[in-house]
Structure 1
Amino acid sequence: MTGRLAGIARRAVPKGPMEVLDTASVTLAGGVEGDVRGRIKPGGRGRRQVTLMESRDWDAAMAAIDRDIPWQERRANLLIEDFDLPQSPGVRLRIGSVLLQITMECDPCHRMDAIADGLQAALRPDWRGGACARVIEGGTIHIGDTIRIEES
């Protein structure tokens, strides 16, 4: 089963605006280059280096609140199409040359309701808010890259 990378976004500072990109470097030390959340803190495990979200989950959340908000407002780094993100920590995903490992569900926080009333609740069911991952192998990703589960 394969899908496609449909979006890339990063933010330079906490609570800062998201910048949408066509291509990005992804590193072991910094996640999506230029994203404030990707850097591993001293003594940290890097469990939230990169965040991923399925486009159909975002669409379902938008339908639930009857709004049309750009995906990057979720503050995820990667938007995935035509692929079911595994809901199991430890699963490895290959996106182009980059290898990521799912670490946990990306729980929606209270800030989602500041974007739109009810958005936090709309993102809660069935990992709809996405998944967090750590970088196992860095590289460069591009819109349109294939995503697949890496056999280990």
Structure 2
Amino acid sequence: MPALSSRPDPDSPLGKLMATLPQGGRVEWIGLRPARETAMIEVDAVEATAGAGLAGDRYKSGSGKRGITLIQAEHLPVIAALSGHAQVAPATLRRNLVVSGIPLVALKGRRFRIGELVLEGTESCDPCSRMEEALGAGGFNAMRGHGGLCARIVEGGTLRLGDTVQAL
């Protein structure tokens, strides 16, 4: 399997800085996309399958590198401000999880635990052209750099609201 990112040597000064996180995070919201261009379904808990995705989500099958998508709770007000809205509902952005307290960018290319699950950050979750429709003109650009993270499910289980997020 090819490297997920060009991380520095873990023993180098930069490698040590990149591995240090001040705190864990928390799952604030869970949503499922049952089909393309349909409303998301908000849930309190969902089953996650290793190498696949979340039960009831349209990305449940396939390569698994986009088995689950996450967005930073702290970025929601930024996206709202940049798109001219007072607030943006998580379902509008079509990510599976809203996570607070931990910088998702620091989890790209590494494994992390959310409750029972072990995930591996695979790539940035860049916005799609549908954000123009969802947020209005400029919505795509409002989300650039704030789209979140795609992850592969390494170990499945039940994912619940309030689960902690910890880098491994």
TM-score by length of 1: 0.89
Counterpart of 2:74?
A: 56
Counterpart of 1:122?
A: 142
By how many angstroms is 1:87 displaced?
4.6
Candidates 88, 93, 101, aligned match of 1:69: 88
**Unaligned 5+ runs, structure 2:** 1-22
Counterpart of 1:97?
A: 116
* 101-110 vs 86-95, greater mean Cα deviation: 86-95
Cα distance in 2 for residues equivalent to 1:121 and 1:102: 23
Cα distance in 2 for residues equivalent to 1:140 and 1:70: 24
Checking the alignment, whether the CA contact within 8 Å between 1:88 and 1:104 is kept in structure 2 is no
Candidates 52, 61, 81, aligned match of 1:30: 52
Counterpart of 2:152?
A: 134
Identity of aligned residues (%): 33
* Paired amino acid for 1:144: G
SS of 1:141's partner is strand
Please give the root-mean-square deviation of Cα atoms over the aligned residues, in Å: 1.3
Bigger radius of gyration: 2
Identify the structure with the greater strand proportion: 1
* 102-111 vs 61-70, greater mean Cα deviation: 61-70
* 29-38 vs 55-64, greater mean Cα deviation: 29-38
Checking the alignment, whether the CA contact within 8 Å between 1:97 and 1:140 is kept in structure 2 is yes
Question: Residue deviations 1:67-113, cap 9 Å, x none?
Answer: 12211111100100111113564211200010110110011011001
**Unaligned 5+ runs, structure 1:** none
TM-score by length of 2: 0.81
Aligned residues: 144
